[in-house]
C-alpha cells in the first residue's frame, strides 16, 4: 500500500508539474525571442533620424559604431540600390519593406527586422538581423532552472507522501497485528487508538469486539462448568444405587462406568474453567487404556474387538485428556450407530513425518450421509458433537480427521491423524 500511495502521489504531482512546466517553458522561450527582437528594433529605430538627415557619411559612421558595439548586424538598403553597413542579401522581405512597411521575416540563421524610411528620392530600408542563438539566448538555463524547481517540488511531494503513508500504515499494521493475535487466541491483545480519526475508530471497535468475545467465552465456560457440575448430583445417586446391588460383578461394572462418567465430568469442568493448553502424550499408552475400557462393553454387546497397536512410545502433540476424549467419541460412535454384535477394529501406527495414526474400523452399515461431518448434525438423535471432538483434537495436534469405507468396501473407517 505504501508503494501504491507513493506512486499515486508521484503520478499526480508529475501531471500537475507538467501542466505548469510546459506552458511556462514555452512562455520563457517566446519571452526570450521577443526580448531579442525588441532590442533589435530599438537599435534600428536609433538609426532612423540619422538616415532622414540625408548625410551618408554620418550614416556610414553610425553603422560602423553600431556593428562594432551591437550583437545584431545592421544594414541599410538605399533607394538607388547601394548598401551600407553589414553585408546582407536583398530578400523579398526587403523589397516589401521598400514600399514603406515595417516587418519581421524569417531568414537563414535567424530573423531580419526591417524598417522603411521615406526619403525624397525613395524609401531606404533598415535591416537588423537577430540570429537563432540570440532568439533562444538564456532559454536553456531557464528551462534547467524550471526543471530543477519541478524536481524539487516532486521530491517534496514524495516526502509528504511517505509521511502520509507512515501516518496511515503504522496504525493499519498495528490493527493487523492485533487481529492476528486475536485470531490466534490471545484475547488480551488490544489496539492503540491512534492515527487518523477513522483508523482510531476502527481500533476502538476492534477493542470492543475483543472485550465482547472475551466476555462471551467466559460466560460460555461458566455455563459449561455449571452444567457439568449439575451432572454430579445424578452421578452420586447412580453411585449410591450401584452400592445397593447384590451382584458383585454387576456392581463393579456399574461403579466403573460411573467412575468414567465422573472423570469426564471433572475434565469438562477443568477445561471450562481454563483456556485450552497445548500438551503432549504417548498415543500408544492412551489408546491402549481407552480400548481396554471399551473392550469390556464390547463383550457385553457381543462385539468382536480387534486391536493392532504399534509399540510405544508414540509421542503426539496433544494432551492425554484430549486424546482420550477423542478416542471415546470415536468408539462411542461405533456403539451408537452399529447394532449389537458388530465387530470393530482399532489400529495404531506411527506416521512417517512424526506423530501417529489411529484407525477405527467397524463392519456396520457405513456412514449414512455427509451430515455426520457437520458440527451439531446427527441422524441418530444425539448431539452430533462426538466426531467434532475428534476433529478438533486432530486439528489441535496438526493433523486431520478422515472418513472412508472399510478395507472390503463395507462398514466405516474413521482415521484420526495426529501430529
Domain ranges of the chain: 2-137, 141-229, 231-266, 277-418
Mean pLDDT check: name the lowest of 140-144, 378-382, 406-410: 378-382
In angstroms, the CA 366 to CA 90 distance is 113
Average pLDDT over residues 286-309: 86
Higher pLDDT, 253 or 355: 355
Average pLDDT over residues 133-155: 83
Average pLDDT over residues 376-404: 70
Asked whether residue 156 carries a pLDDT value surpassing 50, the answer given is: yes
Buried b (16+ CB within 10 A) or exposed e, 120-144: eeebbbbbbbbbeebbebebeebee
Asked whether residue 383 carries a pLDDT value surpassing 70, the answer given is: no
Residues in a beta bridge with 357: 349, 417
Mean pLDDT check: name the lowest of 34-38, 253-257, 372-376: 372-376
Hey, what CATH class is 2-137 in? alpha beta
Alpha helical stretches, state H, 274-319: 283-300
Give the CA-trace dihedral at 4, 9, 11, 12, to 10 degrees: 140
pLDDT at 246 (0 to 100): 74
Q: Of 150, 94, 99, which is closest to residue 126 (Cα–Cα)?
A: 94
pLDDT at 276 (0 to 100): 47
In angstroms, the CA 313 to CA 43 distance is 110
In angstroms, the CA 324 to CA 58 distance is 125
What angle, 0 to 180 degrees and rounded to 10, lies between the N-to-C axes of helices 248-273 and 320-337? 130
pLDDT at 378 (0 to 100): 46
Asked whether residue 324 carries a pLDDT value surpassing 80, the answer given is: yes
Average pLDDT over residues 153-170: 77
pLDDT at 385 (0 to 100): 52
Reported confidence tier of residue 1, pLDDT bands at 50, 70, 90: low
**Quick one: what percent of the chain has pLDDT higher than 90?**
2
Asked whether residue 147 carries a pLDDT value surpassing 70, the answer given is: yes
> What is the value of pTM for the model shown?
0.45
Same fold, 2-137 and 277-418: no
Reported confidence tier of residue 322, pLDDT bands at 50, 70, 90: confident
Residues in CB range of 370: below 8 A, 6 or more apart = none
Higher pLDDT, 133 or 243: 133
Reported confidence tier of residue 275, pLDDT bands at 50, 70, 90: low
pLDDT at 133 (0 to 100): 84
pLDDT, tens digit, 9 for 90 and up, residues 84-120: 888 888 888 888 888 888 888 888 888 888 888 888 7
pLDDT at 30 (0 to 100): 82
Residues in CB range of 174: below 8 A, 6 or more apart = 191, 192, 194, 203
What does the block give as the cell for 307? 486391536
pLDDT at 379 (0 to 100): 47
pLDDT at 268 (0 to 100): 64
Question: pLDDT averaged over the chain?
Answer: 78
pLDDT at 237 (0 to 100): 63
Reported confidence tier of residue 380, pLDDT bands at 50, 70, 90: very low
pLDDT at 325 (0 to 100): 83
Q: 277-418 — its CATH code?
A: 3.30.565.10
pLDDT at 384 (0 to 100): 44
pLDDT at 251 (0 to 100): 73
User: Within a 13 Å sphere around the CA of 154, how many CA atoms are in the beta-carbon half?
Assistant: 19
Average pLDDT over residues 233-258: 71
pLDDT, tens digit, 9 for 90 and up, residues 184-194: 777 787 877 77
Reported confidence tier of residue 231, pLDDT bands at 50, 70, 90: low
Average pLDDT over residues 294-307: 85
Mean pLDDT check: name the lowest of 105-114, 192-201, 212-221, 227-236: 227-236
Amino acid at each position: 500500500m505504501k508503494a501504491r500511495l507513493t506512486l499515486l502521489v508521484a503520478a499526480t504531482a508529475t501531471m500537475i508539474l507538467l501542466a505548469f512546466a510546459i506552458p511556462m517553458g514555452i512562455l520563457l522561450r517566446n519571452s526570450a525571442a521577443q526580448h531579442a527582437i525588441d532590442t533589435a528594433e530599438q537599435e534600428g529605430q536609433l538609426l532612423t533620424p540619422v538616415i532622414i538627415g540625408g548625410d551618408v557619411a554620418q550614416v556610414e559612421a553610425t553603422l560602423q559604431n553600431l556593428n562594432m558595439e551591437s550583437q545584431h548586424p545592421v544594414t541599410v538598403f538605399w533607394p538607388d540600390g547601394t548598401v551600407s553597413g553589414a553585408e546582407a542579401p536583398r530578400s523579398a522581405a526587403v523589397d516589401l519593406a521598400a514600399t514603406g512597411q515595417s516587418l519581421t521575416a524569417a531568414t537563414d540563421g535567424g530573423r531580419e527586422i526591417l524598417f522603411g524610411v521615406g526619403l525624397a528620392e525613395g524609401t531606404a530600408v533598415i535591416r537588423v538581423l537577430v540570429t537563432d542563438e540570440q532568439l533562444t539566448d538564456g532559454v536553456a538555463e531557464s528551462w534547467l532552472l524550471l526543471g530543477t524547481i519541478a524536481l524539487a517540488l516532486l521530491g517534496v511531494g514524495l516526502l509528504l507522501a511517505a509521511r502520509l503513508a507512515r501516518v496511515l500504515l503504522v496504525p493499519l499494521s498495528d490493527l493487523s497485528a492485533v487481529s492476528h493475535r486475536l485470531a490466534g487466541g490471545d484475547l488480551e491483545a488490544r489496539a492503540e487508538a491512534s492515527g487518523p480519526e477513522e483508523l482510531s475508530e476502527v481500533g476502538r471497535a476492534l477493542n470492543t469486539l475483543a472485550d465482547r468475545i472475551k466476555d462471551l467465552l467466559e460466560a460460555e465456560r461458566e455455563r459449561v462448568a455449571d452444567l457439568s457440575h449439575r451432572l454430579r448430583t445424578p452421578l452420586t445417586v447412580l453411585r449410591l444405587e450401584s452400592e445397593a446391588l447384590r451382584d458383585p460383578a454387576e456392581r463393579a461394572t456399574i461403579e466403573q462406568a460411573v467412575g468414567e462418567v465422573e472423570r469426564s465430568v471433572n475434565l469438562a469442568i477443568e477445561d471450562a474453567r481454563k483456556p485450552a493448553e497445548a500438551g503432549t502424550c504417548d498415543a500408544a499408552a492412551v489408546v491402549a487404556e481407552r480400548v481396554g475400557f471399551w473392550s469390556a462393553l464390547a463383550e457385553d454387546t457381543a462385539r468382536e474387538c480387534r486391536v493392532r497397536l504399534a509399540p510405544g512410545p508414540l509421542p503426539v502433540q496433544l494432551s492425554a485428556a484430549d486424546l482420550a476424549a477423542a478416542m471415546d467419541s470415536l468408539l462411542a460412535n461405533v456403539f451408537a450407530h452399529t447394532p449389537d454384535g458388530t465387530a470393530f477394529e482399532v489400529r495404531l501406527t506411527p506416521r512417517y513425518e512424526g506423530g501417529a495414526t489411529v484407525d477405527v474400523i467397524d463392519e456396520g452399515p457405513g456412514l449414512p450421509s455427509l451430515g455426520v461431518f457437520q458440527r451439531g448434525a446427527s441422524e441418530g438423535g444425539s448431539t452430533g458433537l462426538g466426531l467434532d471432538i475428534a476433529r478438533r483434537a486432530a486439528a489441535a495436534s496438526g493433523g486431520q480427521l478422515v472418513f472412508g469405507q472399510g478395507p472390503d468396501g463395507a462398514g466405516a473407517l474413521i482415521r484420526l491423524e495426529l501430529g
